[in-house]
A and B are shown apart, each in its own frame.
Chain A
Amino acid sequence: MNNSDPGKAGSFSRRSFLKSIGTTAVATAAAQTQSIAAELEKANAETTIGPGAVPVTLQVNGEALKLQLEPRVTLLDALRNYSSLTGSKEGCDRGTCGACTVMIDDTPVYSCMKLAIEAQGHAITTVEGLAKDGKLTKVQQAFMERDALMCGYCTPGFVMSVSALLKKNFRPTADEVRHACVGNICRCGTYPRIMEAALQAAGVATAMNKTEVITYG
Chain B
Amino acid sequence: MKSFAYASARSVDSAQQMVGDNGQYLAGGNDLLGLLKEYLVDPKILVNIKSIPGMDKIEPSGKVWNIGALVTVAQIESDPGIKKTFPGLAQAAADVGSQQIRNVASVGGNLAQHSRCWYFRHRDVLCLKKEGDMCYARHGENKFHSLFTGNNCISPVVSNLAIAFAALDAVAVVQREGQPVRMTMAELYAKAFDNPTAHNSLNPGDLILKVEVPVTRTHSAYLQTSEKHEFDWALVSCAAAAKVADGKLSQARVALGSISPVPHQVKGANDFLEGKTLDDATASQAADLILKNAKPHGHNDYKIPMAHAMIRRTLLKLNG
Binding site for B on A (CB under 8 A): 41, 44-52, 70-72, 74, 93-95, 98, 101, 107-110, 112-115, 117-118, 161, 164, 178-180, 182-184
**What's the minimum C-beta distance from A106 to chain B, rounded to whole angstroms?**
10
Binding site for A on B (CB under 8 A): 1-10, 14, 18, 26, 29-30, 33-34, 36-37, 45-46, 48, 50-51, 97-101, 103-104, 229-231
- What's the minimum C-beta distance from B128 to chain A, rounded to whole angstroms? 24
A112 to B1: give the CA distance in the assembly, Å: 12
Residues of chain A within 8 A (CB-CB) of B48 are: 118
Give the complex CA separation of A71 and B48 in angstroms.
11
Q: Is the CB of B7 within 8 A of A115?
A: no
Residues of B within 8 A of A101 (CB): 100
| Whole-angstrom distance between the Cβ of A69 and the nearest chain B Cβ | 10
* Complex CA–CA separation, A50 to B3 (angstroms): 8
**Complex CA distance for A184 and B101, rounded to whole angstroms:** 11
Q: A72 near B98 (CB under 8 angstroms)?
A: no
Contact yes or no, B14 A110, CB < 8 A: no
Docked complex Cα distance between A48 and B2 (Å):
17
Min CB–CB distance A144 → chain B (angstroms): 24
With A110-B100, A110-B101, A180-B99 in contact, do A50 and B4 touch (Cβ < 8 Å)? yes
A-B contacts besides A72-B3, A113-B30, 12 pairs, CB < 8 Å: A45-B51, A46-B10, A47-B7, A48-B45, A49-B5, A71-B3, A72-B2, A72-B36, A95-B101, A101-B100, A114-B104, A161-B100
Between A51, A93, A95, A161, the greatest number of chain B beta carbons within 10 A of the residue's beta carbon is seen for: A95
- Residues of chain B with a CB closer than 8 A to A49's CB: 5-7
Q: Which of B5, B34, B229 contacts A95 (CB 8 A)?
A: B34
Task: Say whether, besides A72-B3, A183-B231, A46 and B103 are in contact (CB < 8 Å).
Answer: no
Specify which chain A residues have a CB less than 8 angstroms from the CB of B51 in the assembled complex: 45
How far is it, in angstroms, between the C-alpha of A52 and the C-alpha of B99 when the chains are bound? 33
Q: Is the CB of A113 within 8 A of B98?
A: no
CB closest residue in chain A, given B50: A118
Complex CA distance for A94 and B38, rounded to whole angstroms = 10
For A110, the chain B residues whose CB sits under 8 A away are 100-101
Q: Name 18 interchain pairs, CB-CB below 8 A, sorted by A.
A: A41-B8, A44-B8, A45-B51, A46-B9, A46-B10, A48-B6, A48-B45, A50-B4, A71-B46, A72-B3, A94-B34, A95-B33, A110-B101, A115-B29, A118-B29, A161-B100, A182-B98, A183-B231
Q: Which residues of A contact B34 (CB under 8 A)?
A: 94-95, 113
Query: Once bound together, how far apart are the Cα atoms of A48 and B48, in whole Å?
Result: 11
Nearest residue (CB) in A for B47 is A48
The 8 Å CB contact of A183, one of B6, B18, B29, B100, is B100
Residue of A nearest to B38 (CB): A94
The answer to whether A109 and B104 have CB atoms under 8 Å apart is: yes
Contact (Cβ within 8 A) B1 A72? yes
Q: What's the nearest-Cβ distance from chain A to residue B258, in Å?
A: 19
Give the contacting residue for A113; candidates B5, B14, B33, B45; CB below 8 A: B33
Do B99 and A183 touch across chains, with their CB atoms under 8 A apart?
yes
Q: Are B37 and A48 in contact (CB under 8 A)?
A: no
A46 and B14 form a contact (CB under 8 A) = yes
Give bound CA distance, A197 to B74, whole Å.
26
- Please tell me if the beta carbons of B6 and A117 are within 8 angstroms of each other in the complex: yes
Which chain B residue lies CB-closest to A112? B33
B33 contacts across to A, CB distance below 8 A: 74, 95, 112-113, 115
* Smallest CB separation, A189 vs chain B (Å): 15
Give the distance to chain B from A176, nearest Cβ to Cβ, in Å.
11
List the 7 shortest-distance A-B pairs measured between CB atoms, nearest first: A183-B98, A71-B6, A51-B3, A182-B230, A182-B231, A48-B7, A183-B100
Q: Which residue of A lies closest to B94 (CB)?
A: A179
Chain B residues closer than 8 Å to A118, beta-carbon distance:
26, 29, 48, 50
CA distance A94 to B33 in the complex (A): 8
**B12 smallest CB distance to A (angstroms):** 13
How long is the Cα–Cα vector from A52 to B46 in the complex, in angstroms? 14
B10 interface neighbour in A45, A117, A179, Cβ under 8 Å: A45
Minimum CB distance partner of B5 in chain A: A50
In the bound complex, residues from chain B placing their C-beta under 8 Å from that of A74 are 33
Query: How far apart sit A50 and B231, CA to CA, in the bound complex (Å)?
Result: 34
Residues of B within 8 A of A47 (CB): 7
How far is B99's CA from A101's CA once the two chains are assembled, in angstroms? Answer: 11
